[in-house]
Structures are given as C-alpha cells and as structure tokens.
Amino acid sequence: MMAAEAYNKIEFFSGDSIPLEMHKVRMVQRLYLLPIEERLAAMQQAGNNTFLLKNRDVFIDMLTDSGVNAMSEQQYAAMLMADDSYAGSETFFRLQKTLQEIFGKEYFLPTHQGRAAENILANAFVTSGSHTMMNYHFTTTKAHITRLGGTVHEVTTDEVLNVDSTEPFKGNIDLQKLKATIDEVGADKVAFVRIEAGTNLVGGQPVSLQNMREVSQLCRRLGIMVVLDASLLADNLFFIKTREEACREKSIAEIVLEMSQLMDIIYFSARKLGCARGGGILTSSEEHFKKMRTLVTLYEGFLTYGGMSVREMEALAVGMRETLDVHVISQTPLYVEALGKELDKNGVPTVKPWGGLGCHVDATRFVQGIPQDQYPAGALAAAIFITGGIRGMERGTLSEQRNEDGSEHLADMELVRLAVPKRVFTYSQIKYVADRVSWLYENRELIGGLEFEEEPETLRFFLGRLRPIGDWQEKLVAKFKKDMPTGV
C-alpha cells in the first residue's frame, strides 16, 4: 500500500489502545512544578480562583483550549507572509476566500474573538422582550443577550444532564421542547435559535448533523433564523464522523458544507476553531451582512481586519483548512477519552460519554456534602491545583449570575473542566493528571467549601476572589506530604 493511502486508513484508537498523536513536536516550552506549599500559597494569592493564577505557577494548564492550541509549521510559515494594511489587505482576502470555500457562505465579517461576534449578533437581532432558544447557554452568549433585555431558553434533551449517559449526541436540541417554547412566546418574538456545537458548559457534548437538519427545517417553516456557534466545531465534526452512522463515508469537508447550508448565520471563536486567534461571522444574506457590518466597524475595526492582526488571520486561514483533516481534529477527543478512562479506572466520576474540549470531573459526586452555595466545583478546582499544579476551570454555580433578587442561581451541574488544548500535552502528562486527581479522590473527605471575599456583579467567575471555609486546604497539604514526602 502507498504511504498516503495507508495514512488515511489508520483507525481511531479505542478500547485500551494508545491515543496516537498524528504529529511530532519540534518546539517546546519549559515547565516548572512548584512544591505543594508554594502551590497552596499561589492558590490563596489568586483568591482560590484559577483564572487569577499566574501561568508561571502552573504545571499543567488545563484552564481552557482558547488561544492556547498548538499551531502547525504551515500556520507559522503563513504568518510570515502576512500583508499588513489597515484596509484591503491581501491577507484578509485570502482568509475570506478560504472561509467562503469551506462554509459556502458569501459574506464574512471579522471580529476580534467569539464574544465580539456575539455582541454584534445580539445588537443586530436581540431586542428587549425577544426570545432566543438554544441547546445550552454559554456564559458570554447569555450575558450579551440578557444585557439587551432578551430571554434565553434552553431546549436541550433531558439526557444532557445525565452525567452517566451513553447517548452519543447529548448536546442535541429537543425538537418538542423547541416547538413548545416557540408556540408559547410566538414565532415573531424569537430573535433566533442558536445551536452550540458542541456544548461548552455541559461537558463538550456534540450535536448530530441530523438534529441540525431537523432544527433547521422547523425554523425555516416558521421563518426563524438559525445561528450556529461553531467555536467548538472541530471536536463536534470528529464525533459526527465517528458516531453518526449516516456520515461515516462523508469527508469532513462535505459534512461542514452540508451543515453550513442548514444555518443562516455561523459565528466562531478562532481562539478555538482553527487553532489561531480572533473570530468572525459568516452569512449568505446580504441583508444580514449589511445590518451587522456597521456594528463591526463601530466595535471591532475596519471590515478587512475586525480587530485581528494580519498574522492571526493568516494562521486562521491555514488552521481552518487543517480542521478538515480528521487526523488533526481527532487529537483532543482521543486525549479526553484517554484521561476519562484513566480516571474511570480509579472510580473518579466524570461526565460521560466523554466529549470534546476537555474531561469534565463531576464535582457533585466527587465532593459530596458541600452545598452548591459553597461552590463545590470551585473548591474542587482549587484542590486539584494544590494537589498537582493542574489548572482546571470551575463550570458550576460560580459561573452563573445571581438571580435578580440577589439569591444564588444554582447551576444544573457542578463540573471542573480539565481542558485539553489541541496537540499541547503528551500522553504521560495526561497520565500524571489522572494520577493526581485520583489521589485527591481517595482523600476527597478533606475538601471543604469556599465563600466570596470579593464578588463582581457580572461574569463573577473571571475576577471573583474566594476564601476556604475552615482550614481544609492546610489539612490537604499535610496529607499530601505524608503520602508523597518529596512534596511534589
């Protein structure tokens, strides 16, 4: 068999096999692992909020896959060819052409990142009293919509909250719920229906192409616009290709084009999709394009850069093409599965089936007994950092906004996300993470709650500072040193 053909026939590893990397690493960054007392001091200085840690104090940074994915040599090479100018640069036209070809949509509006695209969309289409349905909200999406007086309705299948599921497309929209919600508010009051593929806050769970088709058909019949948040599309495409029977024989490029035809607007964070920086909005409607473009010039920059540097745009154009390669997009899902399996062996509860974006540890089952208003997932994220220098992200009640009356809005799920940025870590680092989190699980009765010391009004999880309730963190350090006398 010819080498190229053999390459294309490599099966994805499953079972107990090795999650094989289809790349080699030729540029590296030195890491340092602080002793546990210093990790405790760093966590306390950061107000028990992993967003406020200094990167130099972090050993394995699993905060996010946003803007920290490894880029390819082709992406770096393209950055050197960037054509810099305020208006009309060749770089922009290269990016525009690439996106037009991949998505089959005529118009592209650049933005500086994903939430900037959400700001433009919300300002263009959300009015006070309007309604937006979506499979699940994302923090920044919801904040932009509610700021303008819109209401967000979640119409995901009930299964999405089952943390021990075998459902391959847990992120799907429930058609009955969608229909009932539209009937209730009236189709003319719907700003748009948003599909987040895959879902972020509920464990990186994918949406099937079939579900997108059904949502699109319903919305087109009712004259409602469908918007795709494609920030996490790379992982979702891998799951469509490997889990959706009808798509097995389709190429990733064919799946993207078919999906795109079902959508009126597609937006994305290029900090995730395309392993670059920046973001943007795609549409085939001239009317929508014109409505949004003035907002781009107002908030983002001129229409041929939208807040992105030309180097970012070149990297994005190449990264988008690489996203069509199944061996590129397989890397995060395979590592998430590898981490999930290691944790599973030791009984650590994770969200199943393992999805994209990262491995999600289920804090509700991990630290039983901490009430939700003492932020069990926040406490677990702090404990994981102290235990292993591993930085995850709270995705639970801390990440919610308080209700209007000031009471806590308790999250549906209490998760710690251990994000797996694309092509960044090695398999042994994944095993280290599993080892340290498993040690913590064995010692989980030591973990206590957190309370706010300083609580910002919006998006409090970014900048809020918290303190431990009691001295549980010191006790955790003492036990760690007893079990691992070197302290690392």
Q: Which residues are catalytic?
A: 86, 138-139, 229, 272, 395, 461
**Shortest distance, position 66 Cβ to ligand F0G, whole Å:** 4
Token pair recorded at residue 49: 């909020």
The neighbouring-strand residues paired with 247 are: none
Residue 369 falls in which region: left (phi positive, over 0), alpha (psi -120 to 50) or beta: left
**Shortest distance, position 262 Cβ to ligand F0G, whole Å:** 18
Token pair recorded at residue 164: 């021990």
**Shortest distance, position 111 Cβ to ligand F0G, whole Å:** 9
Q: Give Cα 291 to chain centroid, integer Å.
A: 28
* 3-state SS assignment for residue 150: coil
173 DSSP assignment: B
Nearer to ligand F0G by Cβ, of 115 and 436: the residue is 115
Residue nearest to ligand F0G (CB): 114
Nearer to ligand F0G by Cβ, of 157 and 473: the residue is 157
Q: Which residues contact 169 (CB under 8 A, 6 or more apart)?
A: 205, 206, 207, 208, 211, 239, 243, 244
**Shortest distance, position 168 Cβ to ligand F0G, whole Å:** 19
Q: Which residues bind ligand F0G (CB under 6 A)?
A: 64, 66, 113-115, 138, 140, 196, 200, 229, 231-232, 269, 271, 279
**Shortest distance, position 129 Cβ to ligand F0G, whole Å:** 24
One-letter identity of residue 168: P
CB 134 within 8 A of CB 181: no
The neighbouring-strand residues paired with 156 are: 173
Nearer to ligand F0G by Cβ, of 172 and 231: the residue is 231
Q: How far apart are CA 404 and CA 402, in angstroms?
A: 7
- DSSP per residue, 83-99: ---SSS-HHHHHHHHHH
Q: How far apart are CA 164 and CA 362, in angstroms?
A: 10
Token pair recorded at residue 455: 């609580």
Nearer to ligand F0G by Cβ, of 160 and 447: the residue is 160
**Shortest distance, position 408 Cβ to ligand F0G, whole Å:** 22
CB atoms within 10 A of CB 202: 26
Nearer to ligand F0G by Cβ, of 280 and 468: the residue is 280
Nearer to ligand F0G by Cβ, of 396 and 448: the residue is 396
Secondary element (H or E) of residue 229: strand 226-229
**Shortest distance, position 198 Cβ to ligand F0G, whole Å:** 8
Nearer to ligand F0G by Cβ, of 153 and 271: the residue is 271
CB 187 within 8 A of CB 125: no
Q: Which residues contact 393 (CB under 8 A, 6 or more apart)?
A: 50, 51, 62, 63, 64, 381, 416, 417, 419
